[in-house]
Each structure stands twice: as C-alpha cells, then as structure tokens.
Amino acid sequence: METKTYPDYETLSAAVAQIMCDNIRQKPTAVICLASGHTPLLPCRLFVQKANDEHLHISEATFLGLDEWVGVPPENEGSCHYFLYNTVFNPLGLQAGQIHVFNGMAEDLSIECETMDDVIENNGGIDLMIVGIGMNGHIGFNEPGVPFNHLSHVIELDKTTIEVGQKYFPAATTLTKGITIGLQHLMNANKVLLIANGEKKAAIIQQTIESEVSNQIPATIMQTHKNGIIMIDAAASSLLS
C-alpha cells in the first residue's frame, strides 16, 4: 500500500480523474467500481469532463456501483443510484449494459448479490476501485466486524453509518441495512484508490494507516493490498505520524 498526499481536494480529485482516464485508455474494456458519497463528487465530475473533452473511448468499459441503502428507491436523491447516474453515468452517455448497480428495493437481495458477483466474474474481475471511507472506517457498507472474505452481501448498518448517512437525504430517513460489494472483491481488484479529504477524516485515516490490520476498522485491509493507494488531502493527513 502506498499513501499519497495532495495539497487540497481539487488536486486530489484531478489525480483520481487522471488515473481513471489512464486506466480506460490502457484497457478500454476496464471494469471500474465507484463509491458514491461526498468524497467522490469532484473526482467523478473531473473524470466525466476529462473523458468527454478527450473523447475517451468509453463504450466498452463496465461501471459498477459499490453499494446501496436497502429500502431506498433510486429516485431518492440520497441513494447511491441517484448519485452515480447523475454524476457519472448519464453525463457520460453510457449504455444500460455497461452499468451494474444494486437495487436496494429488490424483493430478493440475495439475487442482487449473486448478479453482482457474476458480473464481476464474467468481466474478468475489477480493474479499478475508487472507494471512500466512513467515519467508522467502513468501505462501501463493509461495516466494523465484517469478515474480510465476503463477496457481495447485505449487512446491518452500524450506528455511526445511520447517523452520518442522514447527510445525503433531504429529510430524515430510516436506514437499517446496506448492500455492498465485499472486501474479498476489493482484495481481488487490480488497483484500489481509497480517497479521503478534510479534517474530519484525519483521525480515521490515521487509524487506517497506522493501526494493526483488523476488521474492526475495515479500511485497514488496504495495508495488505498489493496495489492499493490511499489518496488524501493535507487536512486528512494532518494526524499521521
């Protein structure tokens, strides 16, 4: 694992967008998995801008949504679906067959998980994952205590996730479970970028990089990834020793 620090969120975001474009340029059939949330917003916008400006050949790439709130419909602006379609998929003009996201409203969530696992396998694995980090050290909805060898699964949300998650929703929303790509997929991915910005992420970033690897802080798994990069701004790096 490598740690890269950037002066601010803008330069961090530009670096992430560059890696995304380079990845697709090198491998037009790349499988890219994207987190939603506030951190990936600017990286995703810059990626779309760059891809469009540079006429990046994107029609053979596959895009996966990392996670979703169970019971939240896609038209809810707090859903991961809403974020990814509005920020990335629609502005890029992707075809439906290039996109695979979890349906948090599905009657049978185990089928959602199996379908995602099959898509990943049938496309030869994930080439690039862009993930954020929760205030409790989660990645996607891989909450504290999650086994590291899980593929896609449904999980009870941690108290912190439920509280912090309210920030995405226009009104108070009942959040109980999440559906997520698992950490075994992250370990199998060719390259993983864990991105974080701002002072509020400094403590969890310090623990992620400097604590022992433990599923109590799921993001510590990054320490064991052969091609994992923690990309942070100066504020998020401020507690590193």
Mark 105-144 with x for binding to ligand GLP (rule: CB under 6 A) and - for no binding.
Answer: --------------------------xxxx-----xx---
> Residues 81, 138, 185, 225: which is the catalytic one?
138
- The tokens describing 60, both together, are 């053979």
Q: Which member of 32, 46, 66, 219 binds ligand GLP (CB under 6 A)?
A: 66
35 in contact with ligand GLP (CB under 6 A): yes
Cβ atoms within 10 Å of 170's Cβ, excluding its own: 8
Minimum distance of ligand GLP from residue 28's CB (angstroms): 26
- 138 labelled catalytic: yes
- 149 labelled catalytic: no
Cα angle: 168, vertex 198, 214; to 5 degrees: 85
Minimum distance of ligand GLP from residue 59's CB (angstroms): 26
- Residue 202 · residue 138 · CB < 8 Å: no
Cα angle: 190, vertex 50, 81; to 5 degrees: 65
Minimum distance of ligand GLP from residue 153's CB (angstroms): 14
CA distance 136 to 220: 11
43 in contact with ligand GLP (CB under 6 A): no
> Residues 67, 68, 127, 233: which is the catalytic one?
67
| φ, ψ for residue 139, nearest 5 deg | -125, 125
Minimum distance of ligand GLP from residue 25's CB (angstroms): 26
Q: Which member of 161, 184, 208, 220 binds ligand GLP (CB under 6 A)?
A: 161
Closest CA to 27 of 4, 59, 61: 61
CA distance 93 to 52: 10
Using DSSP's 3-state secondary structure scheme, residue 217 falls into strand
- 150 labelled catalytic: no
Nearer to ligand GLP, 43 or 48 (CB): 43
CB under 6 A: which stretch of 4-12, 29-37, 205-213, 214-222 binds ligand GLP? 29-37
Sign of the CA dihedral running 178, 183, 189, 194: positive
| φ, ψ for residue 110, nearest 5 deg | -70, -30
102 in contact with ligand GLP (CB under 6 A): no
> Residue 157 pairs with which residues in a beta bridge?
none
CB under 6 A: which stretch of 37-45, 81-89, 181-189, 222-230 binds ligand GLP? 37-45
Which of the residues are catalytic? 67, 136, 138, 143
Q: Site residues (CB under 6 A) for ligand GLP?
A: 35-39, 66-67, 131-134, 140-141, 161, 165
